[in-house]
Chains A and B, each alone.
Chain A
Amino acid sequence: MTHAVATPLPVRIPIREILPYAVFVGVLSLLVMYFVSTEQGAVALFDGTTVHELVHDARHLLGFPCH
């Protein structure tokens, strides 16, 4: 017999299982997104304008204040 519905019941993933991933991915993702959205604009970790110039168009079109 085949069954049409195989929708898994909403089973919560325990918070303690999510938390380490959440912290690690949160830090890494936000760092990457910071470099695309902000670095060498309002805030600069590195001197120069290379990062800003590289992601310039993406920063504008993703809606972030660029300059």
Chain B
Amino acid sequence: MPLTETPTLTVRSLLVWGLLAGLVGGLLAFGFASVFGEPAVERAIALEESAGGHSHGGDGHSHAEEPTEEPADEPVSRAFQATGGLGIGAVAYGLGLGGLFGIAFAFAYGRVGRLTPRATALALAGFGYVAVVLVPFLTYPANPPAVGQAGTIEERTALYFAMIAVSVVAAVLAGAATTRLTPRLGGWPAGVLAAVGYVVVVTAVAKLLPSYREVPDGFPGDLLWEFRIASLGTSAVLWAGIGVVFAVLLHRGTARR
């Protein structure tokens, strides 16, 4: 064994790398969403307004719990919503997610499997995307403007977050089960068994939860598809950006020459 200066991994540096990765991931997601998501959002808003639904940026939303809310001046113009607003939202969300990612890595590293630091970071991003984004999306798909009843927003939001919670807890348990079963069954069988367990649990829960059919009659199917794929893509870019940038920073920070 060559003698090297043992790279010490501190939570502080993991947090810094997570935040930087989140910043970059948020900016990349903003770019992707601008190019691939905004056209679908604009088309949906045009349909919504021509159908006499609530307007955007113009005079505020009509909300279930704010029936009297009707400001005359627009709080945020539609043009800014699609650019600055989208950027602020994506970067703020990215920073938050990046911070959580750094902390999750601190817990996962050395506890789940024997992957290298970079591989651990990428695996965490991949599994995180599946558990936090993909499975909840398959249960309650993202909806463009004009889709979704104002009256059910509270239930739909609560159920969406509940599905994220179920999926994340099931994924963490599956990870713990893999570690626990590996000495007895071997890595592959343990991993496959835990993955099957995760899929069975989230599928059963998704089936039991109520579903909502709120796409208005005549809403173009291709537009719904375009929006939903753009939504999955935006999150994929965010998570991939965080995973890759975090892995690079981690590698540079730990493998000093």
Residues of A within 8 A of B (CB): 1, 3, 6-8, 10-13, 15, 17-18, 21-22, 25-26, 28-30, 32-33, 35-38, 40-44, 47-50, 52-67
Q: What's the minimum C-beta distance from A43 to chain B, rounded to whole angstroms? A: 7
Give per-residue flags for B81-117: 1 if the beta carbon is below 8 A from chain A beta carbons, else 0.
1100110111011011101101100110111001111
Assess whether B160 is in contact with A64, with CB atoms less than 8 Å apart.
Answer: yes
Task: List 30 A-B residue pairs with CB atoms under 8 Å apart, sorted by A's residue number.
Answer: A7-B255, A8-B9, A10-B114, A10-B115, A13-B9, A13-B14, A29-B95, A29-B97, A29-B99, A32-B92, A35-B92, A40-B63, A42-B156, A48-B71, A49-B69, A50-B76, A53-B61, A54-B76, A56-B76, A57-B38, A57-B86, A57-B89, A59-B89, A60-B41, A61-B41, A61-B230, A61-B231, A62-B231, A64-B160, A66-B145
Give per-residue flags for B202-226: 1 if the beta carbon is below 8 A from chain A beta carbons, else 0.
0000000000000000000000000
Q: Which of B137, B157, B227, B231 has the most CB of A within 10 A?
A: B157
Assess whether A28 is in contact with B99, with CB atoms less than 8 Å apart.
Answer: yes
Residues of B within 8 A of A (CB): 2, 4, 6-7, 9-12, 14-15, 33, 37-38, 41, 54, 56-57, 60-61, 63, 65-66, 69, 71, 74-76, 80-82, 85-86, 88-90, 92-93, 95-97, 99-100, 102-103, 106-107, 109-111, 114-117, 120, 133, 136-137, 140-145, 148, 150, 153-154, 156-158, 160, 227, 230-232, 234-235, 238, 254-255, 257
Q: B93: which of A12, A44, A58 is its contact (CB, 8 Å)? A: A58
